[in-house]
Every structure is written in structure tokens, then in C-alpha cells.
């Protein structure tokens, strides 16, 4: 009973991605529990003769036990390997600091999205922390990591459900705005820029929080994963324009958003 309840508990907690397998295991082990209960009742009723291997019940019982002994060990090994494979796949697709997608994970997500029948055009936003090297030089890399983590949190809070968020590398992030238009993409970029400007990172030993700003470049729409690099270059050109014209601003495709 304890093993069965543990497996059923796992369906809602540690093994939510293996629900069907865990339910099957729970049923198999639950069946063993039922047979053991029936065996106990027969022993109480008939005594030790109930253990006679010539009885039909004993034959069924040991056939079932042999079946479990044959099936469960390789299945358990298979489940462990599945979990390890899933964990490794997740590590390979995510940035270890911010837990956002990395470039590999983003490309996989984009390819999966554009393969779906409901896929529509998307817009690419590249978000770059202003003067990040100066922050690292002044406060140290630990604070720099806190800044990056804070930016990642803001991106998650500002992005809409379904949008893809990636740490491209260093202080650069990418947001893929799905199912929107040019106005919506620019509004999202401005919302991100404003939220980061208004926030601050608290650090022990400092009397006041550390603030930072970002510059955001927004690309035109694209409809395939193969167009990602082209739109990334377009957004990067817009970002460069913003960096050379004051920072802390949103730029559209290399031309001022205004």
C-alpha cells in the first residue's frame, strides 16, 4: 500500500511528466498487495495447507510475482534513464544563471512553434544592459550576476504567456513576441525598458540599490526559424543605433521608434 500510494503521489509531484507509467506501476504493485491480502485470508482460514503450490491460487500468485520480478527492474531503469535524459536536455537548453532558454533552446522552441498549424508571425526583441562592463568593474561580478538575474525576472514578468525568452550571452537577452503586431512588439519593448529602469537591485553593504537601464532593438516580423539570424541582425542594428544615440531607449529596425 505504501509503495502504491507513493507512486500515485508521484503522479502529481516528482513524476508529473511520467503520469501514465506511474499509474501502471501503481496498478501492478497494487495488484500484488491485493494478492497478498487474499493469501493472508486463506492462511487464516485454511492454515499452512493454503501455501500448497498445487493450489490454483498459489500458482497465480507466483506467476504474478515472477512477472513483476521480470518487468519492474528494467522498467525502473528505463524511468531513471528517461528522467536523466530529460534533465540533461533541460540543462542543455537553458542558461544556468537565469534559467532562461539559451540560443540552442530558443532555436528548438522556435522550430517547434513554426511547425504548428496555429503559428503566426513573430517579432524579435534584443535587450542589452547599458554600461554592464562598468557595473562589473565597479561592484564586482557577483553584483553583475544579480543584475542579469533581475533583468531575467523582469523579462518573465513583462512577456506574455507563450512568448519565448532567451539569454543570448553576456548581458544580451532575446524576447520572441508571438501573435502580435508591430505596435504590440514596440509596446512590449517599452514596457520592458521602463520596468527595468524603475527597478533596483539591493546589495548588502550598499546604502542604496543599484539601478540599470537597457536598450532594446526590435526587428520586423518573421515566419520561420530559418529567418531568425536575419531578424537578429536587424534587431542588433537597431540596438547599435540606440546605443550610439543615448541608450535606455527602444529602436525599430535600425530607425528610431519615434
* Active-site option among 45, 108, 111, 171: 171
DSSP category for residue 22: H
Write down the pLDDT at residue 59. Answer: 85
- For residue 205, the model assigns a pLDDT of 66
Is 21 among the residues known to form the active site? no
DSSP 49: G
CA distances from 254 to 59, 104, 115, 189, 257 (A): 79, 26, 29, 15, 9
User: In the chain, how long is the greatest CA-to-CA distance?
Assistant: 93
Residue ranges for the chain with pLDDT beneath 70? 14-15, 17, 83-88, 90-91, 204-207, 254-258
Q: Look at residue 254 in the predicted model and tell me its pLDDT.
A: 45
For 168, list phi and psi in degrees, rounded to 5. -75, -30
pLDDT at 255: 46
Return the pLDDT at 14. 67
pLDDT at 258: 42
Q: What is the pLDDT of residue 253?
A: 84
The predicted pLDDT at position 46 comes to: 82
C-alpha 17/C-alpha 254 separation (Å) is: 43
SS (H, E, C) 218-252: ECCCECCHHHHHHHHHHHHHHHHHHHHCCCCCEEE
Look up the pTM and report it: 0.69
Amino acid at each position: 500500500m505504501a509503495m502504491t500510494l507513493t507512486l500515485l503521489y508521484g503522479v502529481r509531484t516528482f513524476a508529473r511528466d511520467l503520469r501514465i507509467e506511474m499509474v501502471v506501476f501503481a496498478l501492478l504493485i497494487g495488484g500484488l498487495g491485493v494478492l497478498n491480502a487474499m493469501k493472508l485470508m486463506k492462511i487464516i482460514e485454511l492454515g499452512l495447507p493454503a501455501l500448497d503450490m498445487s493450489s490454483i491460487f498459489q500458482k497465480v500468485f507466483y506467476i504474478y510475482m515472477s512477472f513483476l520480478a521480470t518487468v519492474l527492474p528494467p522498467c525502473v531503469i528505463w524511468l531513471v534513464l528517461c528522467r536523466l535524459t530529460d534533465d540533461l536536455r533541460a540543462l542543455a537548453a537553458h542558461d544556468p544563471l537565469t534559467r532562461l532558454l539559451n540560443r540552442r533552446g530558443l532555436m528548438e522552441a522556435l522550430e517547434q512553434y513554426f511547425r504548428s498549424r496555429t503559428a503566426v508571425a513573430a517579432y524579435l526583441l534584443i535587450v542589452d544592459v547599458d554600461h554592464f562592463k562598468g557595473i562589473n568593474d565597479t561592484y564586482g561580478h557577483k553584483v553583475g550576476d544579480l543584475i542579469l538575474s533581475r533583468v531575467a525576472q523582469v523579462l518573465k514578468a513583462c512577456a506574455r504567456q507563450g512568448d519565448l525568452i532567451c539569454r543570448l550571452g553576456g548581458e544580451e537577452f532575446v524576447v520572441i513576441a508571438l501573435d502580435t503586431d508591430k505596435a504590440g512588439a514596440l509596446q512590449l519593448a517599452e514596457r520592458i525598458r521602463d520596468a527595468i529602469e524603475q527597478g533596483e537591485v539591493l546589495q548588502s553593504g550598499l546604502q542604496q540599490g543599484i539601478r540599470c537601464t537597457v536598450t532594446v532593438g526590435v526587428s520586423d516580423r518573421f515566419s520561420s526559424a530559418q529567418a531568425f539570424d536575419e531578424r537578429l541582425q536587424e534587431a542588433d542594428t537597431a540596438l547599435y543605433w540606440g546605443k550610439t544615440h543615448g541608450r535606455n531607449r527602444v529602436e525599430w529596425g535600425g530607425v528610431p521608434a519615434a
